[in-house]
Amino acid sequence: MAMTKREKQRITAQENTLINLGFTAFEAEKLRKISMTLQRWHELECGIDGGCVERDEAGKPFWRSEYSGKLSPIADREKGAKKRLSHILWLRNTREWAFLGWPMSQVEIKPYIQGDPRGAALYLIRPDDIPEGKNVDSYYSRGVCVY
């Protein structure tokens, strides 16, 4: 499917925002793909026409077919996406800012994964996004949405 001009502009604006937060262009693209993977996984957990993802007591994911009710093991894409996300944030949060010549002070960016499949799955939270003593669940939308 071809990308529209509007979609390309949206992706470029998001990439520029992430670069201004201290991510590389490569990391920005990876974050976008991680968000899309998590959003799709959340859709599958809620269920689609062919079935849904379920986890057993040990946390291993299975696909439950809507037609037969049979459980089949599937790859845990959520676990892999979270691992890649953790690595990218670690790289960004430990990067030597003086080496890059950036005058900004380094602030730690934390992820917030929103499990509702109707919207973006990944938000990047800066320290000033959440008021002192408040819960991130009520204020995550103040962070940078990655979609």
Residue-wise pLDDT tens digits, 65-86: 999 999 999 999 999 999 999 9
Edge-to-edge strand ranges of the sheet holding 51-55: 51-55, 61-65, 71-73
For 14-32, the pLDDT digits (tens) are 999 999 999 999 999 999 9
CB 48 within 8 A of CB 117: no
Mean pLDDT of all residues belonging to the chain: 92
Helix%, strand%, coil% for the chain, nearest 5? 50, 15, 35
62 in Cβ contact with 55 (< 8 Å):
yes
Q: Which residue has the higher pLDDT, 100 or 62?
A: 62
